[in-house]
Amino acid sequence: MGITHNRLHMNFDKKIEELFIDLPEPAPEVGATVHVAQAGKLLFIGGVLPWKDGRMAYRGRVGLELNLDAGRSSAHAAGLQALGLLRKYLDGSLNKVKGIVLLRGYVASGSEFRDQHKVLDGASQLLIDIFGPTSGRHTRSAVGVTSLPHGAPVELELVAEIKS
């Protein structure tokens, strides 16, 4: 009962402030696709790259041009972008989030690189830090690919459940 009670009263916006996290203002959508789509209580966020200040924060393939730590940092940067999109869609407040359901990450990497799951730890830990061990824990898939748009090392998809 205690965990459920804490989860219902957790202030995610305040938690971001306490962690000194500045969520970026998402870039405008371009073309025919959208970054956020809603189906019932689920929000689907896709095509999230590690942008920072209007440019790609990291470029390259993990295990080739980038090491594992840079890969984790790029996943963290993409996670911040995803949360910025989520916050904007929810009229400026993450307190409308009930929990994170899924994180899927595509990692541009060399053919011998086997630690795609460790790269995604950069985004997963961010979600757990903000939403806590109950609302922030999520299912996850890490997929290695040969390349991503704009030379990004990571592309994320996120599914969040919102409160009724």
Q: Note the pLDDT of residue 54.
A: 83
Place of tokens 């997963």: 124
Domains of the chain: 2-19+34-162 (3.30.1330.40)
pTM of the model: 0.91
Q: How many helices (H) and strands (E) does the chain have?
A: 4, 7
Q: Note the pLDDT of residue 2.
A: 37
Distance CA 114, CA 109 (A): 9
Condensed to tens digits (0 to 9), the pLDDT of residues 101-155 reads 999 999 999 999 999 999 999 999 999 999 999 999 999 999 999 999 999 999 9
Distance CA 15, CA 38 (A): 25
Condensed to tens digits (0 to 9), the pLDDT of residues 56-114 reads 999 999 999 999 999 999 999 999 999 999 999 999 999 999 999 999 999 999 999 99
**Closest among 36, 6, 25 to 99, alpha carbons compared:** 6
- List of residues 6+ apart from 157 with CB closer than 8 A: 44, 45, 46, 47, 48, 102, 103, 104, 105
Distance CA 158, CA 149 (A): 18
For residue 85, how many other CB atoms are within 10 A of its CB?
25
User: What is the rounded end-to-end Cα distance, in angstroms, of the chain?
Assistant: 20
**Closest among 100, 102, 93, 106 to 47, alpha carbons compared:** 106
Q: Report the amino acid identity of residue 63.
A: G
Q: Note the pLDDT of residue 89.
A: 95
pLDDT of residue 53 exceeding 90, the answer is: no
Q: Note the pLDDT of residue 27.
A: 67
Q: Report the amino acid identity of residue 149.
A: P
